[in-house]
Amino acid sequence: MTRDELLVFLEQGRKIEEGILLYSEHIMNTLYLSGFDKDLRNKIKETLNTLHRESYEHKIFMRQLIEQVKEGEKDVY
C-alpha cells in the first residue's frame, strides 16, 4: 500500500469517527422524545456516551496517525 492509499484509508476512518460523534450526540439530544421509560433511556444514554467518548479518542488517534504518515519518509506500508 502506498502512502497516498494509506492516507485515503485513514482519512475515511477519521470521517467515519466524526460522523459517529455527530449522530450519537443528536440521538442523545432527542432521547427524551423517545417514549422509552427512564431506565431504558439512561442505559441508552450511557451506551451512547461510551460510543461518543471512544469515537472522540479514535478521531484524535487517526489525526495523529495521518500526520505521522504525511511527515514520514516511507512510501510503502
Cell numbers representing residue 43 in the block:
442505559
- pLDDT tens, residue order, the chain (77 aa): 999 999 999 999 999 999 999 999 999 999 989 999 999 999 999 999 999 999 999 999 999 999 999 999 888 87
What residues pair up with 76 in beta bridges, in sequence order?
A: 2
Number of structural domains the chain divides into = 1
- pLDDT value for 66: 97
Residue 50, domain member (yes or no): yes
Dihedral sign for Cα 77, 2, 61, 59, please.
negative
Please indicate, yes or no, if residue 64 is contained in any of the structural domains. yes
Degrees to nearest 5, angle at CA 23 with 66 and 50: 75
Instruction: State the pTM of this model.
Output: 0.82
Q: Report yes or no on 21 lying in a domain.
A: yes
What per-residue confidence (pLDDT) applies to 14? 96
